[in-house]
Amino acid sequence: LSGVPREHRAFQYLLAHAVPGDPRHILSTFDRWSCHHEHLSCVGPVKGRIVERLLAERAPRRVLELGTHLGYGAVLLAAGLPPGARLYTVAVEPQHGAVAEKVIRLAGFDERTVELIVGPTDVVIPRLRQHHGLAQADFIFMDHRKRWYLRDLQLLETHQLLAPGATVLADNVLFPGAPHFLQYAKTCGRYRCRLHRASLEY
């Protein structure tokens, strides 16, 4: 009714209530907004703990996120990086990318730690090595449009962007669901698959 997009309303709430430079407080403020005001399709605290645990186990040096919405996932991933590691996060929608950039910087991460790239993933992925200096990724987090999961995984393979032993973590594969991606991952012979059971966000 106000004419202000939901994403901007959430960011204004973040500015008013979150502690700048504190990634955990940024995430918990997003969680409060989603629980008590308007739902946002963020990772959320339950699935966030799965992401944090896998990051701690793998200690990746180069992380790629496909699907920056408002920066929640990027802040979560960046907070779990080992020293000297770098996150490349891809925002499909320019208006979401503009908000995510502000959120990431508000959380205290500069361009040396988190590089935000705006554009369709099928355009960005083939350019990651030449234009952004990402030779290979150790950890990939997919949280964009589910129908693109399989296409983008195969693009990563084609352009040899998956490091040996890389972890590919994909959200919401059961609901709304990414059945073709799941079938490929389970049957192509390149991956060992593990399903993490979790509730939907909030």
Q: Strand ranges (DSSP E) for 119-192? A: 137-142, 162-170
Q: State both tokens at 32.
A: 């409060």
Largest Cα–Cα distance of the chain, in whole Å? 51
Given the residues 7, 138, 146, 152, the one annotated as active site: 146
Check: CB of residue 76 under 8 Å from CB of residue 51: yes
Place of tokens 């979150």: 18
115 is catalytic: no
> Which among 31, 101, 152, 171 is annotated as catalytic?
171
Is 171 among the catalytic positions? Answer: yes
Catalytic site residue 7? no
Q: How far apart are CA 29 and CA 124, in angstroms?
A: 30
- The 3-state DSSP composition of the chain as helix, strand, coil percent (nearest 5) reads 50, 15, 35
Active site residue 122: no
The catalytic residue among 31, 101, 138, 143 is 143
Q: Is 47 a catalytic residue?
A: no
User: Pick the catalytic residue: 7, 47, 138, 172?
Assistant: 172
Just list the catalytic residues.
Answer: 143, 146, 171-172, 201
